[in-house]
Amino acid sequence: MTAVKEIKEVVTILFAGDSGDGIQLTGGQFTDTAALMGNDISTFPNFPAEIRAPIGTVAGVSGFQINFGSVEIFTPGDQCDVLVVMNAAALKVNLKNLKKGGVIIANISGFDKRNLRLAKMDEEYTIQDDKKLEGYKIHEVDVSKVTRETLKDSGMGTKSVERSKNMFVLGFLYWMYDRSLESTITFIESKFKGKQDLIDTNIQVLKAGYNYGETCEAFPTQVEVKPADIEKGVYRNIIGNEAAAIGLIAAAKKSGLELFYGTYPITPASDILHTLSKHKNFGVKTYQAEDEIAAICSAMGASYGGALGITASSGPGIALKGEAIGLAVSLELPLVIINVQRGGPSTGLPTKTEQSDLLQVMYGRNGEAPVPIIAAQSPTDCFDAAYEACRIAIEHVTPVFFLSDGYIANGSEPWKVLKGEDLPSITATFAPERKEEDAPFLPYSRNEKLARPWAIPGTKGLAHRIGGIEKENLTGNISYDPDNHELMTKLRQAKVDKIADFIPEQQLDNGNEGDKLLVLSWGSTYGVVKTAVKELREEGKSLAHAHVRYMNPLPKNLGALLSKFDKVLMPEMNNGQFVKIIRDKFLVPAIPYNKVQGLPFFTHELKDKITEVLNAK
Amino acid sequence: MTEETIVKSTEGKLAAKDYATDQDVRWCPGCGDYSILKQVQSVFAELQLDRDETVFISGIGCSSRFPYYMNTYGMHSIHGRAPAFASGLRSINPDLNVWVITGDGDSMSIGGNHFIHMLRRNFNMNVLLFNNQIYGLTKGQYSPTSEQGKVTKSSPIGSLDHPFNPLALALGADSTFIARSMDRDPKHMRALLLRAEQHHGTSLVEIYQNCNIFNDGAFFTFTEKETKGDTVLYIEQGKPLVFGANNDKGIKLDGFKPVIVDLKDNSANDLWIHDETDRVKASILTRFFDDPAKEGALPRPFGVFYVEQRDNYEDALIAQLNKSIEIKGSGNLDALLRGNNTWEIK
Ligand SMILES: Cc1ncc(C[n+]2csc(CCOP(=O)(O)OP(=O)(O)O)c2C)c(N)n1
Ligand code: SF4
Ligand SMILES: [Mg+2]
């Protein structure tokens, strides 16, 4: 039977189940296919904190949300249109994330007594009798059973059969959204290369899912989401952490420096290490140190030796690095420190997202120790921001913070493929050799950027000593002189402030000066703020949006720009951090709007808040 | 070599003083650190080591001021972390001659973790552990190597901590070169520094160093004429373990148990013959750690305890990169930016 086709602009699907159900893989495949079909997309995986959280329990539920459309997409979407649940716990956890009247696709083999017990639900529970589900469109499939039947002649063991059941669900959704199976078939062929039986069975189950959609009468309509009107060109899909890793490699290549990455594993930063360690043929040296302190110190040792030294962690590890960052400020060596933020304090919410380390990276050191900060705004911007952090570190000879967070680090979106030659140049300058008869070498002299010479060991005639004790201006010799200390403190600050001359001015992302309200955002809230402002402007509201990437130093014109608006609203996934800096620097009565749930803002929440602020006197 | 070139090289030869900086040395007069500085400079002159190719990296402590006094590259880093800086530097430039300078607090306390990991990784560098059994710079608190019951400013009625035995710890961490010397035996120290410099791997030299301000005489039983004969055992490759004021005592192994014997009744041929490559014997030797005041105490060994040839981390790191380039080809940025899965919007 040929189903009727319904056309939609945007669809949000949430896949949810046990970590072992292959949720992330299913979501990833659906994403790749949507991208290949020309949709704009944004995704958000939501992992449980424990790798092998008890099967079937609420704590073990893993999720993957994809928002795709024929229009521009900036967020993974608020509530979803379709909720796919592989077991009872997944439904229990995620029903609130489904739009009223939305579609539920439930694997009923995940609703047996055992699963209900594990989810701490009534053992007599059935979906049909659940009053809370009234008004939703529910489709139940016994995925385990149909997968078993599909593979009954394959000779596969029960375990392998169970494992391929996500392919059935994927196939079914491909039918629902009129997608091609091709990309996933290619994926299966390469993933199971050399294991023909697994290739055959997975493809068989995928097709069975698709055919099931076609033959079962439950869904009379297929939904079509047309390609989006995206700028022409070649695209790939990219996850934020992977983009950051590639940005670092690109910066090393363009600057001609060796890349040294000293780190200690921590969620959600580890994937940068995983990606980099796959690219050793770029001359990338990854070093898994014994702890975060050794990680940053090894990276500084590498920078001292003339490499692009990089270290990465999340809040807890950044706390450990604090003393060494102070030394980097004092030594004035290039260094990139990556903080992929997660919920805090302490271990906090390791797999969830938050923007609560801004004040930590801005001020969290002893003494006066200013460090430039760049914050990425989206998964693809992780590339640009990481690249820019390297540029500033190398050209201004300074440690630089690159801030990301779990949301954009794990989220993905399409990325227009770049060429190396399109990237801005990065110039690394080492202090030149010096002959005996030349003037003495002054390791703490400065150039027009106020950067000191990067004098690497092994350079003839430049032997000199550096350290964490206050240095005499120019010579770098130890100095306890009070005036010298004040001078050096001011010089280190001036050097960071000077960077403002080498970064772009702050632009409005949307709206105009003189609009009633400016929404000022930073970091990973970009997409959702952009969407909310765009939708409200389409409703005729007077508001603008500016998004800050350069957190320290701030763009030179930011203060003047802020003064053009009556009201400034600052949404942040923390208890109000950037707002403190803005109020402090510019004395504007910016209004904080905060969410500290380990989760990103929803567009509707933000629109409500903005509307409230606009309507207030 | 022609006669002319010989003349030139002697002319351009660096003396020990050429390795000193113009900075005033700020250690207390009489501090054992002076002697170590002097021997290092003299070894540098003897080997004519290149000042521009050498880097001294230290942590924090009196001893860690050392780099300021060497006319080479140097970094006075943060407390306990020098091994980590040195590891990163060696990973990037394996041509540099890297020396780590650390104290007993720096290496055994705050930097204990980096110390053991540095040893197991076996970067090719030299580590001088200035052991004065006290926190000198912070004005005299007990350290992880202070003897139990030590009375200091922070332990007025005696410290409770059982002390570390740094060389046993190093052996446990699979160090590939383990040696001990003392500030008051410059000749011995010099010979050991030369050996350390020649070893391809992390060479650990523990140096007993007198802090005449806060722990004066901590090692006098080993360093002073009156007592050293009976307390010090100089170990040399291939030689029997003989000690005593008149070289009249020796060490024999009874199974795994070392026993002191009188050479009047025993031939030197029956004694334990020192073999630096024997790990089991080295582990017994590092455990010669008795309080010298104790009745029947084993003498304290000085010399090279153990040497092993094992791959360096940095060599392996470079080999791995080269291998990866061999297999995948040198990384192509455009291909990396493009990835494996693209689509075109027309
Ligand atoms: C993070 C940190 N904690 C504490 C100190 C204070 N401190 C400086 S040196 C030192 C101990 C030094 O002892 P040791 O390493 O034995 O060196 P020595 O002075 O005896 O040569 C301490 C505790 C510091 N500089 N940094
Ligand atoms: S305090 Fe002790 S170790 Fe420090 S310089 Fe003085 S004598 Fe030497
Ligand atoms: Mg000490």
Q: What is the pLDDT of residues B149-195, one digit of tens each?
A: 999 999 999 999 999 999 999 999 999 999 999 999 999 999 999 99
Is the CB of residue B132 below 6 angstroms from any atom belonging to ligand 2?
Answer: yes
User: B24: which residues sit within 8 A by CB, 6+ positions away?
Assistant: none
pLDDT of residue A3: 58
Give A527-569 as a DSSP string: HHHHHHHHHHHHTT--EEEEEE-EEESPPTTHHHHHTT-SEEE
**Are A561 and A583 found together in one domain?**
yes
**Are A493 and A455 found together in one domain?**
yes
Among B68, B79, B146, which is best to mutate for testing ligand 1, by the most ligand atoms less than 8 A from CB?
B79
Q: Which ligand is nearest to the CA of A323?
A: 1
Expressed as residue numbers, the domain containing A391 is 236-422
pLDDT, tens only, A396-410: 999 999 999 999 999
Residue type (1 letter), A426: I
Indicate the residue among A382, A404, A422 that finishes a domain. Answer: A422
For the segment B41-68, the average pLDDT, to the nearest whole number, is: 98
**Are A123 and A162 found together in one domain?**
yes
Query: Which residues face A14 on adjacent strands?
Result: A65, A83
pLDDT band at A187 (very low <50, low <70, confident <90, very high): very high
**Are A484 and A523 found together in one domain?**
no
**Are A208 and A299 found together in one domain?**
no
CA dihedral A243→A249→A255→A256, nearest 10 degrees, is: -170
Question: B9 pLDDT exceeds 50?
Answer: no
Please give all residues whose beta carbon lies within 6 A of any atom in ligand 1, as ranges.
A 323; B 60-63, 79, 103-106, 130, 132, 134-138, 143
Query: Which residues face A349 on adjacent strands?
Result: A343
| Ligand 2 midpoint to CA A327 (Å) | 24
pLDDT, tens only, A547-593: 999 999 999 999 999 999 999 999 999 999 999 999 999 999 999 99
For the segment A605-612, the average pLDDT, to the nearest whole number, is: 98
Is residue A278 domain-resident? yes
Is residue A229 domain-resident? no
Indicate the residue among A446, A469, A503 that finishes a domain. Answer: A503
Contact residues, chain A, for B60 at CB < 8 Å: 468
For the segment A61-87, the average pLDDT, to the nearest whole number, is: 95
Q: B9 is written with which tokens?
A: 């090289």
Considering chain B, tell me which residue range(s) the CATH 3.40.50.970 domain(s) occupy.
Answer: 3-228+274-313
CA A592/CA A583 separation, integer angstroms: 10
pLDDT, tens only, A115-140: 999 999 999 999 999 999 999 999 99
Q: Which ligand is nearest to the CA of B106?
A: 1
pLDDT, tens only, B96-138: 999 999 999 999 999 999 999 999 999 999 999 999 999 999 9
pLDDT of residue B6: 37
CB B106, CB A321: distance < 8 Å: no
- Please state, in angstroms and as integers, the Cα–Cα distance from residue A203 to each residue in A23, A65, A164, B71, following that order: 17, 24, 9, 69
Does A437 or A55 have the greater pLDDT score?
A: A437
Question: A340 pLDDT exceeds 70?
Answer: yes
CATH code for the domain defined by B3-228+274-313 = 3.40.50.970
SS3 call for A426: coil
What ipTM goes with this model? 0.96
**Are A75 and A220 found together in one domain?**
yes
Among B66, B104, B106, B219, which is best to mutate for testing ligand 1, by the most ligand atoms less than 8 A from CB?
B106
* Nearest alpha carbon to residue A43 among A61, A25, A55, A59: A25
CB A43, CB A5: distance < 8 Å: no
- Using the structure block, give the residue that is written with the tokens 């529970």: A125
Is residue A230 domain-resident? no
Question: A1 pLDDT exceeds 70?
Answer: no
- Using the structure block, give the residue that is written with the tokens 């091709």: A182
pLDDT, tens only, A164-178: 999 999 999 999 999
User: B232: which residues sit within 8 A by CB, 6+ positions away?
Assistant: B222, B243, B299, B300, B302
pLDDT of residue B2: 36
CB A121, CB A138: distance < 8 Å: no
**Are A262 and A197 found together in one domain?**
no
For the segment A201-214, the average pLDDT, to the nearest whole number, is: 94
Average confidence score pLDDT of chain A: 95
- Using the structure block, give the residue that is written with the tokens 């698709």: A210
pLDDT, tens only, A287-306: 999 999 999 999 999 999 99
**Are A39 and A176 found together in one domain?**
yes
pLDDT band at B346 (very low <50, low <70, confident <90, very high): confident
Indicate the residue among A366, A401, A422 that finishes a domain. Answer: A422
pLDDT of residue A20: 79
pLDDT of residue A2: 56
pLDDT of residue A219: 73
- Candidates A250, A280, A324; nearest CB to B321: A280
DSSP A600: P
CA dihedral A158→A159→A163→A164, nearest 10 degrees, is: -30
Classify burial at B225, counting beta carbons within 10 Å of its beta carbon; exposed 0-12, middle 13-18, buried 19 or more.
exposed
Look at phi and psi of residue A127 and say left if phi exceeds 0, alpha if psi is from -120 to 50, else beta. Answer: alpha
Query: Which residues face A545 on adjacent strands?
Result: A510, A519
First to last CA, chain B: 72
Please give the tally of structural domains in chain A: 4
Question: B335 pLDDT exceeds 50?
Answer: yes
Task: Work out the percent of chain A whose per-residue pLDDT is above 90.
Answer: 91
CA angle B99, A321, A446 (to 5 degrees): 70
Is residue A561 domain-resident? yes
Is residue A231 domain-resident? no
Nearest CA in chain B to A238: B339
